[in-house]
Amino acid sequence: MSRPKAEPQVLIDNDRVVATKWSFTDGAETGWHRHGHDYVIVPLADGKLIVEEPGGGTREAALTLGAPYFREQGVEHNVINGSGGPFAFLEIEIKRG
């Protein structure tokens, strides 16, 4: 099944961080990727994401406006908007110096 792609907008990219706003239409996905840096996600609305994981696992994640979470580098997944409408979050990647 082909899904629409989420739209990344890089807001900051310097020697210390990359800040990207990810905007999703209903059902849009990031595509499979592996995170090369530790990162923080800051939801810009309440919503639900469906996370596909290696090995075929799938889980749902409820996100709350302004409630950030942290993950370490190496996470691999495909993130799908399951909110029933548009959704966006800010991803802040922390580069190691």
CA 87/CA 49 separation, integer angstroms = 9
- Give the pLDDT of residue 50: 98
pLDDT in tens, 67-76: 999 999 999 9
The answer to pTM > 0.85 is yes
In whole angstroms, give the CA distance from residue 86 to residue 35: 24
Confirm whether 52 is domain-assigned: yes
**Could you read off the pLDDT of 54-68 as tens digits, one per residue?**
999 999 999 999 999
User: Into how many domains does the chain fold?
Assistant: 1
Domain contains 1: no
- 8-state DSSP, 32: S
Domain that includes residue 35, residue range: 7-94
72 found inside a domain: yes
Burial label for 49, CB within 10 Å (0-12, 13-18, 19+), is buried
